[in-house]
A and B are shown apart, each in its own frame.
Chain A
Amino acid sequence: MLWRSSRQFLTGHPAQLLLALAGIAAGVAVMTGVALLRGALLESLERVDAALVGGEGVRVVALAGPVPEDRFVELKRTPGAPELVPVLIGRVSVAGQALELTGIDPFLSRQLFGDGGVAGLPATLTAGPETVALSVATADRLNLEKDTRLEARIRGRNRELDWIGVEGLPAGMEDRLVADISTAQVLLDRPGELSHILAPAGSEAWLGDHLPDGLALVTADQRRADADRLTGGMRANLAALSGLALAVGMFVVFSVLSFLFVQRRRSFAVLRGVGVRPGQLSWLMVREALFLGAIGTLVGLGLGSWLAQGLMELVREPVGDLYQSLPARTLTPALWLFPVIGLFGLVACLLAVAPVAREAARVPAGRMLAPNPPVMAVGRRLMGAAILILAALLLLIYPGALWLALAGLFLLMAGYALLVPWLASGLLALAARASGAGLGMRGVAMLRSGQARIGPALSALTLAVAVTAGIGMMISSFRVSVDDWVTRLLQADAYLTIDEGQIDGEFARAVAGLPELEGVSSARRTTLADGRVLVAYDLPTRAWAGFDWLEAADDVQARFEEGRAVLVTEPFARRYGLALGDRVDLEALPDPDGLEIVGIFRDYSTDQGFIALAGPDYREAFDDPVRDNLGLYFEGREIPDNFVGRLAESVPGAGTARLTKPADIRSRTLAVFDQTFRITRALQILLGLIALVALVSSLLALALERARDYATLRALGLTRLRLAGLVTGQTLGLAAVSVILAIPAALVLHGLLTGVIQPRSFGWSLPMSWPLASLMVVVPWALAAGFLAGLYPAWKIARRDPAPWLKERL
């Protein structure tokens, strides 16, 4: 019987039913979408880790740079040597997709492929000079036709390769091209070089005794720790965003459903009045909430999966570029994720129904008939304030751990959302005082009388708008920081690289001797055996203006050039807990005390951080004369005409030299930045869309609920135009209220993301800037949504005679 009355209400208000379901679905979808995306990214990070760890085997790497192949041969010939596999890894791109090319010795690769190996692989790979193997699945994905050649772009050149699809490549080898080691060396233009040597687990002891100088051992555990470090920042970032998405999603579900119930307080009161027991009524509400929640949640789960799939397409490439491992194209979400999110959705539903159910059980039926419930807002307000205080404590008192900061962030937003209805009623009271006696006053009065209903909706809206705007501000302000940093960093007038061959000492000296040049800088980047990154700098005085010091010795330049001193980046210092004057150990530069840190500088190029060492020290210790690039400082501060031509003539080996202007590097850096933040942007867009759906649906529901009042006004002679003004004015007003309340929350969120979360997840601090433009872009969207939400009901009511509306519902 009671159940039937619920059903009648819901089917009698199809628009509201749909809106409620849409709202619940949207809330659940945002949770699902973000969770799935996060799952997929984490999974790909796992794969990055797995790829980096590369099984349980031991790796032999060079202290810096590549392993010379002759060292491998030497080691292999040592009596008693375990089975050693030479490996060379490089990046190629096929049909615009980034892939890894892995060169191995197929006859020695039992460790990679197990005892059985992959049938026929050795024969296949050595069949021709330019043959690669790839899994059948990868070949399908790249749309490779049988009997055609594979066109790949390798080191800036287009190559055509023979390829063979094989079944049964082990997981780590999917999405890769596998080639014979000598083929890989030719293709990658790295003759005589290896990335590392693989040795079976358990061979540490033997290797430790026989390892030649300049090589080091890396165990699987060490690699695992490195890999975790490499992907830690992204993990933290994802955790922050999914926490926010969870908060927004739950509030959306909460608001939509609680509206549906608060709206029916009267009918519940009538039911109580005719003798329905409070328990029965509460049970009815819970059942109804669960029923609607279940449908909405199911739809939301599907919708979220679909959204996540779309977003995945957007973020695959940047993730692949960042971590050298592409996330899978199709999401294979962990199955437990769905019930868990479903549960969150249902919990939000139950939380939404709880206050009304409690009221129905406790408050005398007669009192429930009053349209303004004796709001339980006080309790909610206290709870909100308590949560805010807790959040502040978490953020201020324990500034150490990242997860505490994340919890603080989550609580801060949730607490604020609980306070929103109260703040909104204050705003409406102000508006009422300001609006005089016209249409506006009547509109505001109508809103104020419905506060209990619009409260939760306003919470959800405010939260969604704040999160969208806050993330947007964080990204913009970060981009400004990166731009400032890179612009300052690039002091040279041009940067020189060569496509073929290497820049060695002789080359560098020859360039420096050119008359047009005032100075030349150089940089060489290398990864140490323990995963730390080392950059060797030779810097003329002008280049030193490029450092943005966080801490530095007074005579930093002199100390650095003297040698036996290093500079470190901010993320490096933070990661290893180092300060100015501390010492860094470098195995290749043995020094009992380590090398003193004479400067810590801002750097956003990698959250791993790096150590900068003076060029001469580096070359001496690592026996590596190569420079990755040269910075050219011209007398006239710009590239003279025909410089490239003269360079090619007077410097041997400079035939393929290429000059890049700082502006180009800057824009490339920003492009990379934008790529990287596509993930965050994608999540932000998702949240924004949900916010929009939630905004329109709750405002629409509010307007529809007032259909009878609007019809009465029409019957009394309110013109259609003024009615439209009234309805849209109200929805617009609500949107405006939530935007106004969202602004402080967005600012705080941005401040926390930028000032607390970023440094703790990536190790870099960002100069705080307040890009109000990113805040303001959400304003027109929110207001437009508010306006649109009012148009439909206004149009609908105005289209027909008022009499039917007095009886019927929308």
Chain B
Amino acid sequence: MRRVARSYLSGNRRVRVLEDLDLDLPAGQRLAIMGRSGSGKTTLLHLAGVMDTPDSGEIRIAGRAVQDLGEPFRTRLRAREIGLVFQDFNLMDSLSVADNIGLPLWLNGIRDSGRVGRLAEQLAVGDLLARYPWQLSGGEKQRVAIARALVHRPRLVLADEPTGALDEETAADVLALLAQATDEAGVAVLVVTHSEQAAGICNRRLLLATGRLQEAPAVAVK
């Protein structure tokens, strides 16, 4: 990302959330972004996920300036290359857990060869496949959302507080899986988190404050 800015109109006031933000995420790197609540982390993630357009600046993914791409390309990019764990999960209430996880496969026209089941097992939601999202606990929903972000082997994984609703032990398992699933060459990961534990699986961490990123100290300042 180069000199990216994004602001919101709130009433008639313009809230500048990101300003002149620069970010590089080489393939194979796992990056943690930390920052105070309301600092713009989710906004940044949505921009990186090609779900939002910056007011100015440039976002390149695999060398292509995505903000200039037509919507069909952006959509295809999202479907094929990006896996996103939303902060509030955004599972589809009308689809079963299995169908929710399988959504990206279906969107890409890939037949499920047992991957949905395997991933669910690994994330310890294998018994819940027939249930519906509103029948799940917060932590279970989070793991379903993670499964959905990984199932189609995206090259860019974006996760918004992926362990926010998990206890330490489960979080460790989930993070291990996230690390393992993205260990293949060429997968880049961007994790937004407050948790030291989650940041621990990353090889770099940045702090988002006043609209910009800066190198974060190895240990969060208490």
Which A residues lie at the B interface, using CB under 8 A? 369-371, 437-438, 442, 445-450, 708-709, 712-720, 798, 801-804, 806
CA distance A798 to B70 in the complex (A): 12
Residue of A nearest to B47 (CB): A803
A-B residue pairs in contact (CB < 8 Å), sample of 16: A446-B92, A709-B92, A712-B92, A713-B92, A715-B49, A715-B51, A715-B86, A716-B103, A717-B77, A717-B78, A717-B104, A719-B75, A720-B71, A803-B46, A803-B51, A806-B86
Residue among B76, B77, B93, B106 with max Cβ neighbours from chain A (10 Å): B93
B93 touches A449 (CB 8 A): yes
Given A442-B99, A717-B80, 15 additional A-B pairs, CB 8 A: A446-B94, A447-B94, A449-B132, A709-B92, A714-B75, A715-B51, A715-B86, A715-B90, A716-B78, A716-B84, A717-B75, A717-B104, A717-B108, A801-B53, A806-B86
Q: Assuming A371-B134, A803-B51, A803-B52, is B107 touching A717 (CB within 8 A)?
A: yes
Checking B72, B94, B103 against A719 with a beta-carbon cut-off of 8 angstroms, the contacting residue is B72
The DSSP consensus for interface residues of chain B is helix
CA distance A801 to B46 in the complex (A): 10
A374 shortest CB reach to chain B, Å = 13
CA distance A708 to B20 in the complex (A): 30
B161 shortest CB reach to chain A, Å = 15
Q: Assuming A716-B84, A717-B76, A717-B80, is B95 touching A801 (CB within 8 A)?
A: no
A718 CB contacts on chain B under 8 angstroms: 75, 79, 107
B79 touches A716 (CB 8 A): yes
B116 shortest CB reach to chain A, Å = 13
Interface size on B, residues (CB 8 A): 31
CA distance A561 to B22 in the complex (A): 109
A449 touches B94 (CB 8 A): yes
A808 shortest CB reach to chain B, Å = 10
B192 shortest CB reach to chain A, Å = 14
Checking A437, A438, A715 against B78 with a beta-carbon cut-off of 8 angstroms, the contacting residue is A715
Residue among B52, B71, B94, B99 with max Cβ neighbours from chain A (10 Å): B94
Residue of A nearest to B81 (CB): A717
CA distance A803 to B148 in the complex (A): 18
CA distance A369 to B90 in the complex (A): 16
Which residues of B (65-117) have their CB < 8 Å from a CB of A?
71-72, 75-80, 82, 84, 86, 90, 92-95, 99, 103-104, 106-108
B26 shortest CB reach to chain A, Å = 24
A438 shortest CB reach to chain B, Å = 8
Checking A449, A450, A712, A717 against B79 with a beta-carbon cut-off of 8 angstroms, the contacting residue is A717
CA distance A720 to B75 in the complex (A): 8
Residue among A450, A709, A716, A801 with max Cβ neighbours from chain B (10 Å): A716
CA distance A445 to B96 in the complex (A): 9
CA distance A65 to B11 in the complex (A): 81
CA distance A267 to B14 in the complex (A): 29
CA distance A239 to B186 in the complex (A): 76
B42 shortest CB reach to chain A, Å = 9
Which residues of B (43-72) have their CB < 8 Å from a CB of A?
46, 49, 51-53, 71-72
B107 touches A442 (CB 8 A): no
B73 shortest CB reach to chain A, Å = 11
CA distance A798 to B71 in the complex (A): 9
A717 CB contacts on chain B under 8 angstroms: 75-80, 82, 104, 107-108
B132 shortest CB reach to chain A, Å = 8
CA distance A801 to B51 in the complex (A): 5
CA distance A450 to B92 in the complex (A): 12
A450 CB contacts on chain B under 8 angstroms: 94
